[in-house]
Amino acid sequence: MNKKNAITLLLLLLLSLRVSAQKWDELSKTPQMGWSSWNKFQGNIDEDIIKSIADAMVSSGLRDAGYIYVNIDDCWHGKRDSNGFIQADPKHFPHGIKALADYIHARGLKLGIYSDAGSETCAGRPGSLGHEYQDALQYARWDIDYLKYDWCNTTNINARGAYQLMSDALRAAGRPIFFSMCEWGDNNPWRWARDIGNSWRIGPDIWCSFDSTRVFPTYVQYSVLDCINKNDSLRSYAGPGHWNDPDMLEVGNGLTVNQDRAHFTMWCMMASPLILGNDVRNMSAETKAILTNRELIAIDQDELGVQGLRFLRREGLDYWFKPLANGDWAMTILNPTRQPIVCKVNWQDFNFTDEAVSKRSTAFNKIVYKVRNLWTGRMEGKTSLKNKIDRQLTIPAQDVVTYRLYRK
């Protein structure tokens, strides 16, 4: 049997191994955390950059805070070999992806990679169309831990079928690989992707703006607020093993500190993937403090796995609540406007039951919670059973006040 026939036989064997559940659920009990190259570097990447990012994630404390994936986005691809297997760009990744994976793993991190369901990636590199099982097998050989799968150059391709095919291929290759679907929400993946991917993008790419949508002739880019407003209606589709993804974080890429804090907080309130997009080798003290806030990360990673909800919009402010596993609640007051707003908090205004998802009730009329401010780190008293104004707050422009409400 010649080499090409052997490869064909192997791929046919992999095709025969399809099973009903096609993803690795155990990889996504909570939303994924890590870093990706695209927001900061786009196509200007090489193995030295990826290695130095991994080193910085260790030395900065990001790894120990939970950020474990180091993801190479578009433009790592070289050509396919004579048997159709994809290879790394020899100029920018001269030692190959397997050697890079070994380097990443030696630092207690995991390596992610990128491909596309179409004929070419968004940057014009070889896509996986027609090579799904080969690519999945190659990733497994390279000890890859995460795949972001994009949606460029996919004319006349069925989205559900394309993502199911790659999900099948990853499962058949035998190595647990987190499957991040980047289909941009075009075909409502939240309605059908639960058993296919570990997370799915809900909309267009984010860009480094808090409140301005960027419009091009053939596509748009979402602001932070666009992502929040789109995700707000999709909370019933998220949960352990399957997450709505409003896209990677822009924290540290040029927003104000207030905007960065609000951006990070809302991703945590929405149980979103926390994939960093900044140059972690050169972070300000403020950026590092935001990204390593363990109490906010705990809100995102809470094992109950319920995406937060916007309960009330009043006088320019959004009041968000997120039920937590031990009976606690997270509460965030978001000011999306460009002016500071003074508000009065009456806990009795927030009595409700989350009928749509968790069935949990805040029950402020029956329960007294201890109140901890998660950005100042200070305890701020207790909620009140009485129908009175409890406190007056000033919410800075495009910023948040966030509490953890402790039941015990």
Catalytically active residues, by annotation: 150, 205
Which residues, in sequence order, are CB contacts of 105 under 8 Å at separation 6+?
111, 143
Q: Which H or E run contains 380?
A: strand 379-382
Here the tokens at position 199 are: 């997370």
Instruction: Report how far residue 71's alpha carbon sits from residue 74's, in angstroms, rounded to the nearest whole number.
Output: 10
How far is residue 16 from each of residues 13, 126, 171, 173, measured CA to CA in Å? 5, 26, 12, 12
In the DSSP assignment, the letter for residue 361 is: B
Phi (first) and psi of residue 351, to 5 degrees: -80, 120
Phi (first) and psi of residue 363, to 5 degrees: 50, 45
Phi (first) and psi of residue 119, to 5 degrees: -75, -30
Q: Which class for 48: exposed (0-12), middle (13-18), buried (19 or more C-beta within 10 A)?
A: exposed
In the DSSP assignment, the letter for residue 60 is: T
Which residues, in sequence order, are CB contacts of 7 under 8 Å at separation 6+?
83, 84, 134
Here the tokens at position 303 are: 């094992």
